[in-house]
Amino acid sequence: MIYHFKFRSFLSGVVLIVFTGCGYYSFSGSTLPHLKTIAIPTFQDDTAEFGVKDDLTNALIDAFSKDNTLKIADQRNADSIITGRLLAVRDGAGAFNRSETVNEIRVTVSVQVKFEDLQKRKIVWEDNLSQVGTYAPNGGSTSNTTREEAITEAISKITEEVLNRSISGW
């Protein structure tokens, strides 16, 4: 009899945990449900790097288009906007071999990004972001063989971070 009671208590506890742990979950916009569209104008550029601001802007547009949580729109018709400024693109030694020769060069791309709710006229988030891409100076062992590929890697990481921060909670 006691054994049967313990089993029923255990079973009741499991059922309670399962039902209380399975709350309502939705993929709809729970944090900012009124936002349906986003504008992403070309980033401003404080560097002498040709084409990087355009590559970054295009990568963001592509990422938001593929994600489809917010549809890309013209700035005049958008509910929200991402604006930004390319602050720096810097090269630095990343790894050395035993003879103290540089094996890997790190390219750091730094940007200032702001995500605004245009309907409520408020800044949702604003931050300076930096990401790194690497390449081998002489076609060495890293996956990227050129500086441009390293910049593309850093841009890809920045794009992912901006997308995730902008749609988090959706």
Query: 7 lies in a domain?
Result: no
87: in domain? yes
Q: For position 32, what pLDDT does the model report?
A: 79
Residue 18: predicted pLDDT: 40
How many domains is the chain partitioned into structurally? 1
pLDDT tens track, the chain, 170 positions: 555 545 455 445 444 444 444 433 334 444 578 999 999 999 999 999 999 999 999 999 999 999 999 999 999 999 999 999 999 999 987 765 666 666 788 999 999 999 999 999 999 999 999 999 999 887 655 577 899 999 999 999 999 999 999 998 55
**Can you tell me the distance from the alpha carbon of 111 to that of 8, in angstroms, rounded to the nearest whole number?**
59
Residue 39 lies in a domain: yes
Domain assignment present for residue 120? The answer is yes
Q: Is 103 within a domain?
A: yes
Q: Domain range spanning residue 157?
A: 29-167
Say if 18 falls within a structural domain.
no
Instruction: Give residue 99's pLDDT.
Output: 63
| Residue 103: per-residue pLDDT | 76
Write the CATH number for 33.
Answer: 3.40.50.10610
Whether residue 14 lies inside any domain: the answer is: no
Residue-level pLDDT at 137: 80
**Which 3 state secondary structure label does DSSP give 129?**
strand
Helices (H), the chain: 2-21, 52-67, 147-167
Q: Residue 121 — left, alpha, or beta (φ > 0 → left; ψ -120 to 50 → alpha)?
A: left
- Structural domain contains residue 68: yes
What's the angle, vertex CA 146, arms to CA 142 and CA 151, rounded to 5? 95
Q: Identify which of 79, 66, 159 has the alpha carbon closest to the alpha carbon of residue 111.
A: 159
